[in-house]
C-alpha cells in the first residue's frame, strides 16, 4: 500500500491523473491515503464532476479529503461549491481556511478574499501569501507592499510574489533589489527573477541570471526558451532546447508553438510528429500555426483529428474562419461550441465588426455574458 500510494501521489504531483488512476487500479488494497491521492490527482484537472464522483465512491472521508475537494472546486472555477463544502464539512483546520481563501483568490474574487482573510481565526504565512498574490494578480503594487510590511512571517513564496509584483509594474530594479536582499532563494525565486527581466524586455539580463542560476528545472528552461522564441531567435531557442536536460510536455509544446508563431510549419509538424506524448495544447499549438498562415483546410483537418478538443480548439477554429472572412462558418462554430468563454465572444464580435459591420457586432456585444 505504501508503495502504491507513493507512486500514485507522485503522478498526482506531476498532473498525470490517468497514470495515477492506472496505478491505483492495480493496487491490491487501498487506505484513505490512497483515495486521497487519487482525488488529489483528479482535483488538478479542473474536472469537478470527476472529482465528486471519486469523493462519492470513497469508503470514507477525512479532513484531508474534504480539503482536497475544495481545491478541486478552485481549479474548476466553482467558488460557490467550495463555499458549500466549507459550510458542510464536519470539521475545519488551517489548511481548510487557506484552501477556501485560495478559492477566492484564484477566481478573482478579491473583495471576498479580503473579507474572508479578516475572518480567519489564524493567519499563517500561506494565508498572507495567498492574499498577497491576489493583489499581485490585480496589479495593485501599493497594496502588495503594504501587506508585505504588515506580514508577521515570510517565506520564499512571499519574496517571489514581491519580485513578480515589481516586475509586473515595470520596476525591474526593485525586483532585482528584492532578490538581492532576500534571506532565502530557491529555483522558483531564481526563475521568477529571470522572468522579471524577460517580461520587461531585457533578454540579455534574463540570460545572465539564467546562466548564473545554481539549479534549473523544466520551468526555468522553458521560460528562457520561450522568451528567445518570442524575440524571433528561433534557432537559438531550439539550440537551448536541445541542450536542456529538462524537457517535459510543456517545454515540447512551447517549441511547437514557437515554430507555429513564425509560420515555420514544416518544423512545427516535424516536431509535433516526433512527440511520443501529446496533449490538447500540443494540438492547439500546431493548429494555431495553420490558422496564422490562413491554411483553413489543414486547420480543419487537424481539428477533426484532435482526440479531445477543448475550448481553445474551438476558439481557434472560430478565429481561423473569421480570419479567412468566412463569417457563416465562424458563426456556425460559435453556435456549435460546447462552451463559450470571453475569447469566444470577443472573437465572434471581432468577426462581425471586421466582416459585417458595426451593427451586428454591437448585437453580440449586447448579448455577452461577460466582458473585459
Place of cell 471576498: 112
DSSP secondary structure string for all residues of 91-149? ---HHHHHHHHHHHHHTT-HHHHHHHHHH-S---HHHHHHHHHHHHHTT-HHHHHHHHH
CA distance 320 to 295: 8
The continuous run of DSSP H or E covering 232 comes out as none
Find the binding residues for RNA in span 143-182 (CB under 7 A): 155-158, 160-161, 164
Task: Report, in Å, the least distance between residue 288 CB and RNA.
Answer: 4
Site mask, RNA, residues 275-304, x = CB under 7 A? -----xx--xx-xx--x-------------
Count of residues that bind RNA according to CB under 7 A: 86
CA distance 147 to 129: 9
CA atoms within 13 A on the CB side of 191: 16
Nearest to residue 40, comparing CAs of 83, 81, 78, 70?
70
Candidates 228, 254, 302, 361: give the one binding RNA (CB under 7 A). 254
Taking phi over 0 as left and psi of -120 to 50 as alpha, with beta for the rest, 294 belongs to: left
Nearer to RNA, 218 or 233 (CB): 218
358 binds RNA (CB under 7 A): no
Site mask, RNA, residues 119-148, x = CB under 7 A? -----xxx--xx--x---------------
Task: Report, in Å, the least distance between residue 255 CB and RNA.
Answer: 8
Task: Report, in Å, the least distance between residue 123 CB and RNA.
Answer: 11
Task: Report, in Å, the least distance between residue 184 CB and RNA.
Answer: 9
The answer to whether the CB of 221 falls within 8 A of the CB of 251 is yes
Find the binding residues for RNA in span 12-31 (CB under 7 A): 12-13, 31
Nearer to RNA, 114 or 261 (CB): 261
Find the binding residues for RNA in span 302-331 (CB under 7 A): 311-312, 315-316, 319, 323
CA distance 199 to 192: 10
The continuous run of DSSP H or E covering 225 comes out as helix 218-230
Task: Report, in Å, the least distance between residue 300 CB and RNA.
Answer: 15
Find the binding residues for RNA in span 53-112 (CB under 7 A): 62-64, 67-68, 70-71, 94-96, 98-99, 101-102, 106
Task: Report, in Å, the least distance between residue 99 CB and RNA.
Answer: 4
CA distance 322 to 315: 10
Candidates 213, 261, 275, 296: give the one binding RNA (CB under 7 A). 261
Find the binding residues for RNA in span 182-241 (CB under 7 A): 186-189, 191-192, 195, 217-223, 226
Nearer to RNA, 8 or 173 (CB): 8
Nearer to RNA, 71 or 235 (CB): 71
Task: Report, in Å, the least distance between residue 244 CB and RNA.
Answer: 9
Q: How far is CA 94 from CA 30, 55, 82, 147, 273, in A?
A: 27, 21, 15, 20, 47
Q: How far is CA 352 from CA 164, 299, 311, 361, in A?
A: 37, 21, 20, 5
Candidates 42, 200, 253, 269: give the one binding RNA (CB under 7 A). 253
Amino acid at each position: 500500500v505504501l508503495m502504491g500510494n507513493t507512486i500514485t501521489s507522485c503522478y498526482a504531483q506531476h498532473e498525470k491523473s490517468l497514470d495515477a488512476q492506472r496505478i491505483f487500479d492495480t493496487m491490491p488494497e487501498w487506505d484513505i491515503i490512497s483515495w486521497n491521492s487519487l482525488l488529489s490527482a483528479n482535483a488538478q484537472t479542473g474536472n469537478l464532476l470527476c472529482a465528486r464522483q471519486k469523493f462519492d465512491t470513497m469508503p470514507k472521508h477525512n479532513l484531508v479529503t474534504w480539503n482536497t475537494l475544495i481545491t478541486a472546486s478552485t481549479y474548476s472555477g466553482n467558488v460557490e461549491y467550495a463555499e458549500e463544502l466549507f459550510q458542510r464539512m464536519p470539521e475545519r483546520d488551517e489548511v481548510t481556511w487557506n484552501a477556501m481563501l485560495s478559492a477566492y483568490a484564484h477566481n478573482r474574487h478579491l473583495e471576498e478574499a479580503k473579507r474572508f482573510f479578516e475572518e480567519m481565526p489564524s493567519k499563517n504565512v500561506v494565508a498572507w501569501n495567498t492574499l498577497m498574490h491576489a493583489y499581485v494578480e490585480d496589479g495593485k503594487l501599493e497594496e502588495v507592499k503594504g501587506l508585505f510590511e504588515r506580514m508577521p512571517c515570510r517565506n520564499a513564496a512571499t519574496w517571489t510574489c514581491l519580485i513578480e509584483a515589481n516586475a509586473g509594474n515595470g520596476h525591474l530594479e526593485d525586483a532585482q533589489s528584492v532578490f538581492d536582499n532576500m534571506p532565502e532563494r530557491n529555483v522558483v525565486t531564481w526563475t521568477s527573477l529571470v522572468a522579471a527581466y524577460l517580461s520587461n524586455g531585457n533578454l540579455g539580463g534574463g540570460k545572465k541570471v539564467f546562466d548564473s542560476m545554481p539549479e534549473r528545472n523544466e520551468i526555468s528552461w522553458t521560460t528562457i526558451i520561450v522568451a528567445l522564441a518570442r524575440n524571433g531567435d528561433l534557432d537559438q531557442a531550439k539550440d537551448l532546447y536541445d541542450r536542456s536536460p529538462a524537457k517535459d510536455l510543456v517545454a515540447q509544446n512551447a517549441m511547437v508553438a514557437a515554430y507555429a508563431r513564425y509560420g515555420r510549419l514544416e518544423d512545427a509538424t516535424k516536431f509535433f510528429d516526433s512527440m511520443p506524448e501529446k496533449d490538447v495544447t500540443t494540438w492547439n499549438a500546431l493548429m494555431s500555426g495553420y490558422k496564422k498562415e490562413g491554411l483553413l483546410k489543414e486547420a480543419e483537418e487537424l481539428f477533426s483529428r484532435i482526440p479531445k478538443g477543448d475550448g481553445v480548439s474551438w476558439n481557434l477554429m472560430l478565429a481561423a474562419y473569421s480570419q479567412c472572412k468566412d463569417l457563416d462558418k465562424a458563426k456556425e462554430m460559435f453556435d456549435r461550441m460546447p462552451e463559450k468563454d470571453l475569447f469566444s465572444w470577443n472573437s465572434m464580435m471581432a468577426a462581425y465588426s471586421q466582416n459585417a459591420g458595426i451593427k451586428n457586432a454591437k448585437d453580440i456585444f449586447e448579448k455577452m455574458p461577460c466582458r473585459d
